[in-house]
Amino acid sequence: MPDTFHQPLRDLLVLRYDEFRQRLRSRLGSRQLAEDALQETWLRVDAMRDSTAVRHPAAYLFRVALNVAEEQRRKQARVMTLDEVEDLYLMADERADPAREALGEQEIAMLRRALSELPRRRRAIVTAARLNDVPHKEIAARHGVSLRTVEKELKAGLEHCCKRLDREYIQRFGPKIKRPPS
């Protein structure tokens, strides 16, 4: 039958603390995790009711500590470290920099002006293709023009906007440039 209650378990934990810590450290690979698990084990044993009986107290304490360590590992896998949280704050601060926001707003205003300088159809094609992600075939059907006309209008509109924003125009789509045979 039972041979120990919570007070003898606490006494055993105190008496063999170094042994438990060493065994847990070997099993878990972490001194800190072993110590944390033993502290939590102490709290759990202390919270036991007097009627709780244990047949093999040392094995029981070791198993409780292993279970606690596993719970802590799972919890740590879901929770970010303090350094990770701090990195996120720093990243958020960089993006929310008032100077960057002002520069972004200035560039948007310049883009709006550049778009307003375009002929109506060209502006509609650039807006549909680049801002609304409308496929070129659909744009051609809307305006009653060929796919080639949509590509030419889009290229001309983008070149104009890049010039106004003092950016280099880089063609990332469309037909490849034909090179003379060598």
The reply to whether domains 6-78 and 98-164 share a CATH topology is no
Q: What is the CA angle 112-117-119, rounded to 5? A: 120
CATH fold label, 98-164? Arc Repressor Mutant, subunit A (1.10.10)
Name the residue type at position 143: H
Look at residue 167 and tell me whether its pLDDT is greater than 80: yes
For residues 174 and 74, which has the higher predicted lDDT (pLDDT)?
74
Domain boundaries, the chain: 6-78, 98-164
What CATH number matches the domain at 6-78, 2.30.30, 1.10.1740, 3.30.70, 1.10.3470? 1.10.1740
84 DSSP 8-state letter: H
For residues 168 and 6, which has the higher predicted lDDT (pLDDT)?
168
Contacts of residue 54, defined as CB under 8 A and 6 or more positions apart, other chains included, come to: 2, 3, 4, 5, 9, 60
Look at residue 76 and tell me whether its pLDDT is greater than 90: no
CA distances from 116 to 88, 126, 133, 136, 165 (A): 38, 11, 19, 21, 13
For residues 43 and 117, which has the higher predicted lDDT (pLDDT)?
117
Q: Give the residue ranges of DSSP H helices in 57-130.
A: 57-78, 82-95, 98-116, 120-126
Q: pLDDT band at 146, cuts 50/70/90?
A: very high
Q: pLDDT band at 99, cuts 50/70/90?
A: confident
Averaged pLDDT for residues 51-56: 72
Averaged pLDDT for residues 52-79: 82
Query: pTM to 2 decimals?
Result: 0.44
Please tell me the predicted confidence (pLDDT) of residue 181.
63
